[in-house]
Amino acid sequence: MRTDNTVTFIHTSAEDDKTVYTPLIPIGMVGLASFLDRNYILSEILNVELERILNPDFDLAAYLIENKRTVFCLNLHWHSQSVKVMELCRLLKEAIPCSRIILGGFTASYYAAEIMASFPEIDFIITGESEQPLLDLLVRIFSGNKDFHLVANLFFREGGAVLSSRLTYNTTQQIIDAMEFANFKFLKNYDYYLRVEDPLNKADGLLSNVPATFYYNCGRGCLVNCSFCGGSRVAQKIINHRSEIIFISQGAVVRELKRASHEYGITRWHTCFDPLPKGDYYIELFRKIRAEGLKLNLGFECWALPSRQFIDEFAMTFDLCSSVLEISPECGSQRVRRQNKGYYYSNTELLDTLKYVFLRDIKVRVFFTAGLASETRDDIKETLKLIRLLRMQFKQINIKACCIEMEPCSPWNLDAEEYGITTDRRNFSDFLRAHQTGPSLGYRTNEFTGEDIEQIVAFYNSYNKTFDAKARNYSCCL
């Protein structure tokens, strides 16, 4: 088969008959495509489920064969993708036996050895950060060089054995500042993709009235451990070989925001990177955004409570009709919060911050969960009290409760006994089996089963919405 030296990045999502659950590609895919382009390697990005919504007859294998593609990079970032990614790898290797299949992403990185041992159709896994390793690997593939020992972060096959490189890589300031995360020309049908909602309701299709959104984090790494987080400090060290955080320079961020706005009509930026909540990085960034005259709204996920200076600068920089701060105390019990959250704050501090946020006319969304380590039924009552207090003091507040699933390499996945939980998800095969058999949280605590936790979260949402007698007397949660 005559081949084309173009790399195809492929994103496939968890889905059922009605919903696509992970329609958003990791933004690193766009950055990698632009990085390869600057190094004279052509690439494209395909979102499989998006293509099938636009064209129900879309056949991925036929498209790849017709265009003579043989090198495929699939992301296995979220564990919920596991079944779809493994099935797609098998289908691609059957349809195009000469293909080279490369995996990356958090889940693939953490379980690289197990995946390589169990799925012979996968040729390579790049663990952790992958800019230079991917470039080095592709240069070898396209030149016919089969010596992969000097490619950092790499699992590969040699003589029937699975080997891993002894070299490790983390991005440099120069590389990450130069990466073009808003260069969407590599993404097929990007004009539709930028308006995809997560999760995506198939019946709704692709709505033209949804604002174009840029999901973009300003750096990498984490300095703290939240008990349930698969991207925490310990996970960053194990998966990404990263002990420190790195921020993209403010100038580079402004460049990408300008490109997103001016070239692609993006009006909304969403970010979830807040490793130094008391630092001045975002203060300076917001001032640079104003200086450029950029008109955006921002969804900002706070890892801790924002400072008053942050709140002031946020209010002066973004369109407050659509911007929102997201704050996640997780629970009402300060004891439980201290044990489970990397950045602790008291309920009094939360209330004081919310008062100031509303004083500046900023919308806020507050998130709770249940089933945290050491949480008891008395702690559930504390969360109900806090939800009630918030609803009474702040009439316009948006409160939502969500369940937490077991995440690979999260602190309580690594040491369940220490956190007083029981889980049946240790290996990749456990996660794969779980997603084949149906949705579940994948853990229980000493106090609550998974079903209990789901019922409590449902009750929180009911209580928040209604405050009716039925909710107040939902005895099974208390």
* Superfamily classification of domain 211-477: Aldolase class I (3.20.20.70)
Give 233-274 pLDDT, tens digit per residue.
Answer: 999 999 999 999 999 999 999 999 999 999 999 999 999 999
Tell me the β-bridge partners of 184.
none
Instruction: Give the C-alpha separation, 84 to 82, whole Å.
Output: 6
Does 209 have pLDDT greater than 90?
no
The model's pTM is 0.95
Average pLDDT over residues 84-101: 98
Give 354-405 pLDDT, tens digit per residue.
Answer: 999 999 999 999 999 999 999 999 999 999 999 999 999 998 899 999 999 9
Average pLDDT over residues 453-474: 76
Helix (H) or strand (E) run with residue 72 in it: strand 69-75
Does 2 have pLDDT greater than 60?
no
Find the angle CA(188)-CA(83)-CA(242) to the nearest 5 degrees. Answer: 75
pLDDT value, residue 409: 98
Q: If pLDDT is split at 50, 70 and 90, which confidence band does 474 have?
A: very low
Instruction: Give the C-alpha separation, 316 to 361, whole Å.
Output: 11
| SS3 state of residue 269 | strand
Q: If pLDDT is split at 50, 70 and 90, which confidence band does 461 have?
A: very high
Least Cα distance to 98 among 135, 67, 66, 123 occurs for: 123
Q: What percent of the chain has pLDDT over 90?
A: 91
Q: What percent of the chain has pLDDT over 70?
A: 96
CATH 3.40.50.280 is the classification of domain 4-164: yes
Domain boundaries, the chain: 4-164, 211-477
Q: By mean pLDDT, which of 9-13, 28-32, 205-209, 359-363 is the weakest?
A: 205-209
Tell me the β-bridge partners of 325.
300, 364
Give 301-348 pLDDT, tens digit per residue.
Answer: 999 999 999 999 999 999 999 999 999 999 999 999 999 999 999 999
Give 18-68 pLDDT, tens digit per residue.
Answer: 999 999 999 999 999 999 999 999 999 999 999 999 999 999 999 999 999
Average pLDDT over residues 293-300: 97
